[in-house]
Amino acid sequence: MRVTNKMLHTNLLRNLNRNLNMMSKTQEQMSSGKKVSRPSDNPIDVTLIMGMKSILSEQETHIKNMEDGIGWLEATDQALANLGEVVKRASELALQGANGTASQDARIAIAQEIGQLIDEAKQIINTNYAGRYIFGGTNTSNPPVDGSNQFRGNSSKMNWEIGPGVTIAINTTGEVFNGGTVGTPPYEPQMITVLKDLKTALEDSSGDPSASIGELDKQMDAILNERASVGAKSRRLEMAKSRAEEVNLDLGELTSKLEDIDIAEVSMTYAMQEAVYQAALMTGARILQPTLLNFLR
Amino acid sequence: MSGTFFGFNTALRGLFAQQKAINTTAHNIANANTPGFTRQQAIMETTAPFPLPSLNRPGGAGQLGTGVDVAEIRRIRDLFLDKQIRAELQSLGRYEEEWKTMGQVETIFMEPGDTGLSKIFDDFWQAWSELSKNAENSPIRTSLKELSVTLADNLNHLARQLDTVYNDLNQVAAIRVSEINAITNKIASLNGQIEAIQAAGDQPNDLRDQRDALLDDLAKIIDYSYEETNTGSINIQINVLDNSVSPPSEQAVNLVDGNIVNLLSFSDDPAIKGDEKLQLTVAGPPDVVYQVVVKNGQMKGLENTRQNVNKYREDLNTLVSTLADEINKLHQTGYSLGATAPSGINFFEYDATDPALTISLNSAIASDVSMIAASSTPGSDNKGDGEIALQIYQLSRTALDGLGKSTIGNYYKNFISSIGVTANAAKTNEFNQQALVDQLNGRKESVSGVSIDEEMANMMMFQRSYEAAAKIITTLDEMIQTVLGLKR
């Protein structure tokens, strides 16, 4: 084949250009830290990355929901534990009051403490967590129990999504304060009624406080049942959350494998490309100089 | 028997011929870097010998040569290679145009990245999930509002950018058409000059080079066929659709016929979006207008990408209208914060003629976030109810009929993937085609290119021959001196 000077020149330029193009691509990867920066770089990987990022984002949403849920359930459990203490104390006091040896003065003193317990129970029912009343159903912005001891919340559950299509009813509603039975608001929760009855029985010298003991046990059962359910939900969320976090870690790693460059590998590639580029430049400088012209007088 | 001064003429012819050849060499060297230049060669032939064969031929050894003449100054060119290169240039032009536009389209979407629509969608859905947990929370409502505005703005922006690309393509097409007309005009005028010079018996090499370069330029823009007539002009034909017969049939029509040019025109009637017509007006009278059938070249690339961009635009509209409709359907049944009647209002609003360009957050919601209907139950006693928000959040995973049983995320992913695959194919095609054309050009250069070494060697050869011919004249002169010296 006949070789002309222009051919050498065009070839050299083309090769230099190709090398520069590859270097610029590698440099883009180094500076962005990403293997692909546009869909045409690798359409399949780009789609995979986009899909994984969406799944990751969804997972993060669920993890956040679970974290919030765990917080909510802890607040619920703490409130119910406190209420349990109130009922326990009330039972003790009822027993003391029912004892025939108690004087009327002592019974009045006990009745006063029961009065305190009623206030405390109301306060517990009106617990708020992050500014929301947690026992009022979806009526989260008003205290469930008003000044006249009427429960104004509803029995609506708040369903939070904790997995794709999986929801959990996060809130405990008013039944727990009503011996486990649903009431039609506004109503006075049995919890308050029982304590009030006990107080009245103690204040009245002929009253029989022992009648309240059975009622208090019923309230205690409702509280313990609910606490068991809250605890179970909490454990479920804890487990689901750590599983989701593990999956997220794996997914993140997988995404990173698809998306992120291996610095060592890319640096090596770059060094190689640079060497090739320099070699092309050097041969270019040598090959372009000599023509027959240089050797004629 | 030849005369005394016979040799002078032979040597003189030699001088002239070598001089002509060295001038050709000078022309080659001068044009070593001229694009489109073909190296030329002085073709030398011996002149008619003396005596010519005849019946009354005098005795003695014959024939005696009378020297040399430059019969022709010829272009060294492979016409078959030209045809091949032009065919490949057509594909190169097409792929170049496709890659240029697809590269532009894919950058518009900025995927995969932290600023792409995909990320904005993820944030948007996350905001609905937050709202489902904290329906009465005003800051969370506000952040959902802001994200919805961002989403709508981004969709508007994408639509506008795709429209810009589309309009640019139309402008480029119009420019290309005027380029075609300029090129065919020049070819026709060169045809005229070449014919005239050839008729006088000369070779218009440089004009032919110019015309060949123009044919190469034209090949990049549009596909055509061509043939050279025996008078030296080149006729160019393109395919058109003849609408006068039924069904319309394809036929070839002259774009250039000798020195007559038929002009192309481009109509970008917005009513026929994605199907703009390239038209050829064949000079009459009466003028006939044909619809051009473009099969390759930049014009084909433009046609393809115009259709692609138009399709992306339609897909974006489908995505937007489905998204808005599905959210609105749920939102209308929901209750605004503390309201006792279903809100009945849309979350997103859009103009059905162009959803992507016009989608926006309902202004009532934009000015009052309590209007977001997150609740499935009425009244101010249910402010914490986020059931509708939850259902809207769950739309992100729902296969929707409007999107061909695809989720919004998957539909968008497929959309990006389709852009990626098309762009990738365009890029690969362009790269490979460029390599092919480079290779063919290399072969052309190998045949037609000027080699300085070769020209230098030729120059020395012609110079020496010139010196030798001159030497013969000197020698003959000396010989005559000898004869004249006899009679002193």
pLDDT at res. B457: 93
Of B132, B142, B143, B140, nearest to B384 by C-alpha is B132
Percent of chain B whose predicted confidence (pLDDT) is above 70: 93
Chain A, nearest residue to B457 by Cα: A292
Chain B residues touching A291 at Cβ < 8 A: 452-453, 456
Q: Give this prediction's pTM.
A: 0.86
Average pLDDT over residues B210-232: 95
Specify the length of chain B in residues: 488
The distance of B173 to chain A (nearest Cα, Å) reads: 24
pLDDT at position B273 over 60:
no
Give the tens place of pLDDT for each residue, B134-159.
999 999 999 999 999 999 999 999 99
Q: How confident is the model at residue A134 (pLDDT cuts 50, 70, 90)?
A: very high
Q: Which of A137, A138, A292 sits opposite B457 (nearest CB)?
A: A292
Q: Which pLDDT belongs to residue B31? A: 94
Q: Residue A198, exposed/middle/buried by CB under 10 A (0-12, 13-18, 19+)?
A: buried
Cβ-based contacts under 8 A for chains A and B: 180
> What is the average pLDDT across B389-412?
94
Tell me the C-alpha distance between A121 and A179, whole Å. Answer: 14
CB-nearest partner of A156 from B103, B385, B450: B385
Position A290 pLDDT exceeds 80: no
Using CB atoms, pick whichever of A7, A43, A156 lies closest to residue B420.
Answer: A43
CA separation for the pair B210, B225 (Å, rounded):
18
Report the first-to-last Cα separation within chain B, whole angstroms: 27
pLDDT, average across residues B42-54: 83
Cα separation of A271 and B308, whole Å?
39
Mean pLDDT value across residues B227-253:
88
More confident residue, A273 or B286: A273
Predicted confidence (pLDDT) per residue in B287-330, tens digit: 777 888 889 999 999 989 988 999 999 999 999 999 999 999 99
User: What average pLDDT does range B72-92 have in this prediction?
Assistant: 95
CA distance to partner chain B, nearest, from residue A250 (Å): 20
Question: How crowded is residue B343: how many other Cβ atoms within 10 Å of its Cβ?
Answer: 23
ipTM for this prediction: 0.89
- Interchain pair A46, B417: CB under 8 A: yes
**pLDDT-based confidence at residue B275 (cuts at 50, 70, 90):** low
DSSP A159: E
- Categorise residue B405: left if φ over 0, alpha if ψ from -120 to 50, beta otherwise: left
Q: Do B446 and A40 touch (CB under 8 A)?
A: no
Quote the tokens at residue B183: 């090129």
8 Å CB contact of A38 and B33: no
Find the helix or strand (DSSP H, E) in which A224 lies.
helix A210-259
Averaged confidence pLDDT in chain B: 91
pLDDT digits (tens, 9 = 90+) for A53-95: 999 999 999 999 999 999 999 999 999 999 999 999 999 999 9
How far A35 CA sits from the closest chain B CA (Å)? 11
- Tell me the nearest-neighbour CA distance from B126 into chain A, angstroms: 6
- Are the beta carbons of B448 and B39 closer than 8 angstroms? yes
Share of chain A above pLDDT 90, in %: 72
